[in-house]
């Protein structure tokens, strides 16, 4: 350090080869697609930004596509974020961001244009020499493949066109396609976990993540960077669930119900509490998972009452096989002032779930957000009546089935004449 001049010292932080872990540097070989499939906090965004900076520095003719799940994310994360292209660039070699053109332009002539994966047609026509695609598993499932295909067909500038894709893994069709191509040499995959970058993350964050999510399906996916595989014979697949994901509905729902699958005892299984809605177009939406673990009857009844008030529900549906009238009494004691419908399970959990799974497959039910614990249970319900998901019983999944059965499979009310 003493041998370096002031200018060299100031620029040392921008010497990426010195600071990067080997997994953050491009792999050797003649790959065309470099897929970085790793947990949150691994350093994927920094690796992508540095790769783009290196391409621009060594190739003045480079035309780079920067593609995010949306234009907002492309700009706020890939360009202007803490690890974005602007932040990692030396001041004397930094690109200029032209917001009106969605373009980065370097002093040597290299340029990069921002695109949204939610607008696949915007990638039809433009030509590029390189591309960085961020969080591809988060792209709109109905448009991701079209966006990717349009990008690939426009990747025809230069003699060594390449794509870098960074993402936390999820079982979506685009990810599955790329991972299948790994064995052919066209795709080079770098895998890693959050903990690989522990030296650059707060110690309390690492401790909290291990304590809260260590060993769980959510932790395996979001922290360990593992793409969870499908269970053969499951009624639900992760691909199906990813395709049913939507934003929170803006229009008011026709009906909202709270469904409860009460535990046998306070020390037993979870108390499944699911909020679901029926929309004007006849589709169903899962709005929230308010499930509680090791809750007393008073506690889960209070939680159900709070959820009913928060979501303006018009009914509570509760399984009454365990406790019967006691379930209604506990709910009334919690000041539930709306109709309570007690349902009795005459068939097994899987048999009850099959008609609901068919509605998912038909595209009639959506999830307003991600519900990892619930979705793990859904993917553990197997044709034939067995359960191979987390925990002893799929209480969340059972509550979901009761809610959607009430909304989607219940007999519609018919007009009748009442005596005067």
Tens of pLDDT, residue by residue, the chain (420 residues):
788 888 777 788 899 999 999 999 999 988 999 999 999 999 999 999 999 999 999 999 999 999 999 999 999 999 999 999 999 999 889 999 999 999 999 999 999 999 999 999 999 999 999 999 999 999 988 899 999 999 999 999 999 999 999 999 988 889 989 998 987 779 999 999 999 999 999 999 999 998 888 877 778 888 999 887 777 788 998 888 888 988 888 778 899 999 999 887 666 678 999 999 999 999 999 999 999 988 888 888 899 999 999 999 999 998 886 655 677 788 878 766 778 888 887 677 778 899 999 999 999 999 998 898 899 899 989 887 788 888 888 999 999 999 999 999 865 544 445 455
pLDDT of residue 415: 47
What contacts 43, CB < 8 A, 6 or more positions away? 21, 24, 83, 196, 197, 200
> Under DSSP, is residue 165 helix (H, G, I), strand (E, B) or coil?
strand
Domain boundaries, the chain: 6-222, 238-409
pLDDT of residue 351: 82
Q: Answer yes or no: are the C-beta atoms of 35 and 48 closer than 8 Å.
A: no
164, containing H or E segment: strand 162-167
Closest alpha carbon to 341 in 362, 359, 366, 316 = 316
CA distance 148 to 95: 26
- Please count the residues of the chain: 420
Strand order in the sheet with 33-38: 96-98, 103-105, 111-116, 63-68, 130-134, 162-167, 33-38, 187-192
CA distance 252 to 410: 20
What contacts 282, CB < 8 A, 6 or more positions away? 364
- Domain 6-222, CATH 3.40.50.300 — does that match? yes
105, containing H or E segment: strand 103-105
Q: Answer yes or no: are the C-beta atoms of 136 and 165 closer than 8 Å.
A: yes
- Tokens coding 17: 């080869």
pLDDT of residue 265: 66
pLDDT of residue 319: 86
pLDDT of residue 266: 60
CA distance 113 to 50: 16
Strands (E), 293-355: 315-319, 340-343
CA distance 177 to 181: 7
CB atoms within 10 A of CB 410: 14
CA distance 229 to 141: 18
Q: What is the DSSP letter of 152?
A: H
Closest alpha carbon to 65 in 80, 83, 52, 53 = 52
List residues bridging with 131 in a β-sheet: 65, 163
CA distance 319 to 346: 11
- Domain 238-409, CATH 3.90.1200.10 — does that match? no
pLDDT of residue 192: 95
| C-alpha distances out from residue 392 to 13, 14, 47, 385, Å | 51, 52, 41, 14
- List the Cα angle 275/238/169 in 5-degree steps: 110
pTM above 0.75, yes or no: no
Tell me whether the CATH fold assigned to 6-222 matches the one assigned to 238-409.
Answer: no
CA distance 52 to 67: 12
């Amino acid at each position: 350090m003493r041998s370096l001049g002031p200018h060299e010292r100031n620029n040392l932080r921008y010497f990426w080869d010195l600071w990067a872990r080997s997994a953050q540097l491009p792999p050797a070989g003649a790959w065309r697609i470099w897929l970085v499939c790793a947990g949150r906090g691994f350093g994927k965004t920094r690796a992508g930004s540095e790769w783009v900076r290196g391409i621009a520095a060594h190739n003045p003719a480079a035309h780079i596509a920067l593609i995010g799940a949306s234009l907002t994310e492309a700009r706020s994360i890939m360009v202007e974020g803490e690890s974005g292209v602007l932040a990692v660039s030396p001041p004397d070699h930094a690109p200029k961001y032209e917001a009106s053109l969605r373009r980065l332009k370097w002093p040597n002539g290299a340029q990069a244009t921002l695109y949204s994966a939610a607008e696949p047609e915007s990638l039809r026509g433009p030509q590029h020499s390189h591309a960085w695609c961020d969080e591809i598993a988060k792209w709109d499932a109905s448009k991701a493949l079209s966006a990717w295909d349009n990008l690939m067909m426009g990747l025809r500038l230069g003699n060594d066109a390449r794509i870098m894709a960074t993402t936390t893994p999820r079982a979506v069709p685009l990810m599955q396609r790329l991972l299948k191509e790994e064995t052919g040499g066209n795709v080079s995959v770098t895998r890693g976990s959050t903990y690989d970058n522990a030296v650059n993350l707060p110690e309390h964050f690492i401790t909290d993540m291990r304590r809260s999510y260590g060993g769980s399906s959510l932790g395996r996916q979001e922290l360990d960077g593992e793409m969870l595989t499908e269970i053969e014979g499951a009624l639900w697949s992760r691909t199906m669930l990813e395709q049913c994901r939507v934003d929170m509905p803006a229009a008011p729902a026709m009906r909202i119900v709270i469904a409860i699958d009460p535990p046998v005892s306070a020390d037993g299984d979870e108390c499944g509490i699911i909020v679901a809605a029926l929309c004007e177009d006849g589709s169903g939406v899962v709005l929230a998972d308010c499930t509680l673990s090791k809750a007393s009857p008073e506690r889960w009844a209070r939680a159900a009452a709070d959820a009913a008030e928060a979501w303006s529900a018009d009914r509570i549906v509760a399984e009454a096989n365990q406790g019967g009238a006691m379930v209604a009494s506990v709910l009334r004691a919690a000041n539930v002032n709306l109709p309570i419908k007690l349902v009795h399970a005459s068939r097994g959990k899987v048999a009850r779930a099959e008609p609901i799974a068919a509605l998912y497959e038909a595209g009639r039910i959506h999830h307003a957000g991600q519900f990892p614990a619930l979705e793990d249970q859904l993917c553990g319900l197997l044709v034939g009546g067995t359960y191979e998901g987390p925990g002893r019983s799929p209480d969340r999944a059972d509550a979901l089935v009761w809610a959607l059965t009430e909304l989607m499979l219940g007999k519609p009310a018919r007009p009748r004449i009442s005596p005067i």
